[in-house]
Structures are given as structure tokens and as C-alpha cells.
Amino acid sequence: MTNASSKGIATIGTEDNPNDSDEISEASTSENPIHGTLVLGQQQEKIGGGFDSENSFSGTIAQVLMVPRKLTHEERSDKV
């Protein structure tokens, strides 16, 4: 997941779609870092909750890699 501070964009990459992105509610800067919880395998309907069991991931997550920057295509290929 990368965060474009001035645009309020979060990017979460997967093998199927390494550049999937979505808008987040507030832009973040070094003075205002993102704090919170990363929820894997469940779509959150609203900030602070609103989970729907119909939107949950069913399966196994084998690996999660968190880095402080967006990886290049070559770096992503090396990690998989």
C-alpha cells in the first residue's frame, strides 16, 4: 500500500492487480501520518466498522509484505 499524500490516494497491490488504488478520506503528510488498522480479507463499508460477511475473503493469505515506498515491477516480481 502506498499513499500519495497530496492526493489522498492509497495503493494496495496484489498479484492479480498490483496497481489497485482507491481514494482515502484524508491526505497524509509527514506531519500528519496515517494511523489506524489495516484489515485484510474484509471490505469495510465505512470508517470505524460496517463489515458485511458477504464481502469477506475466503481462503489463505500466504504472505504480506509492507514497505515504506511503492515497489517497481521488477521488485514486485522478485518478492512473489
The predicted-structure confidence for 21-68, as pLDDT tens digits, reads as follows 555 555 444 455 666 677 777 776 666 667 777 778 888 888 777 777
User: What is the structure's pLDDT at 56?
Assistant: 80
DSSP state of 32: B
pTM for this prediction: 0.42
Which residue bears the cell 496497481?
19
Q: Which amino acid is at 72?
A: T
Domain that holds residue 16: 2-79
Number of domains in the chain: 1
Q: How confident is the model at residue 3 (pLDDT cuts 50, 70, 90)?
A: very low
